[in-house]
Amino acid sequence: MKYNPDDCRKKTAVDSFSREIFYNPPLAGSLQEAGLIALLNRTYEVYECIPEQAVSFLEDELGIPAAVILRVIRDHGMCTMRKKPQYVIRLCMGQVCGRRNMALILQSILEVLGIGHEGGIDPEKTYSSADGKFRVEPTGCVGACGKSPVITVNDELYTSVTPERVRKLILLLI
Chain residues that interact with ligand FES, rule: CB under 6 A: 92, 94-97, 141-145, 148, 150
CB of 122 to ligand FES, least distance (A): 18
**For residues 75 and 45, is the Cβ–Cβ distance under 8 A?**
no
**Minimal CB distance to ligand FES: which residue?**
94
Taking the complex as a whole, how short is the minimal distance between the CB of residue 159 and ligand FES, in angstroms?
9
Residue 121 beta carbon to ligand FES: minimum distance, rounded to whole angstroms: 18
Other CB atoms closer than 10 Å to residue 77's CB: what's the count? 6
What secondary structure, in 3-state letters, does 13-30 show? HHHHHHHHHHCCCCCCHH
Q: How far is the CB of 130 from ligand FES (least distance, A)?
A: 29
With respect to ligand FES, which residue has the nearer C-beta, 72 or 93? 93
Least Cα distance to 92 among 146, 56, 169 occurs for: 146
Q: Which is nearer to ligand FES, 114 or 140 (CB)?
A: 140
Considering beta carbons, is residue 51 or 123 the nearer one to ligand FES? 123
What element of type H or E holds 42? helix 29-47
Output the DSSP codes for 84-108. Answer: PPSEEEEEE-STTGGGSSHHHHHHH
Which CB sits closer to ligand FES, 51 or 138? Answer: 138
Give the integer Cα–Cα distance in Å for 21 and 58.
14
Nearer to ligand FES, 69 or 150 (CB): 150
Shortest Cβ 146–ligand FES spacing (Å): 8
Please state, in angstroms and rounded to a whole number, the distance separating the CA atoms of residues 154 and 90.
8
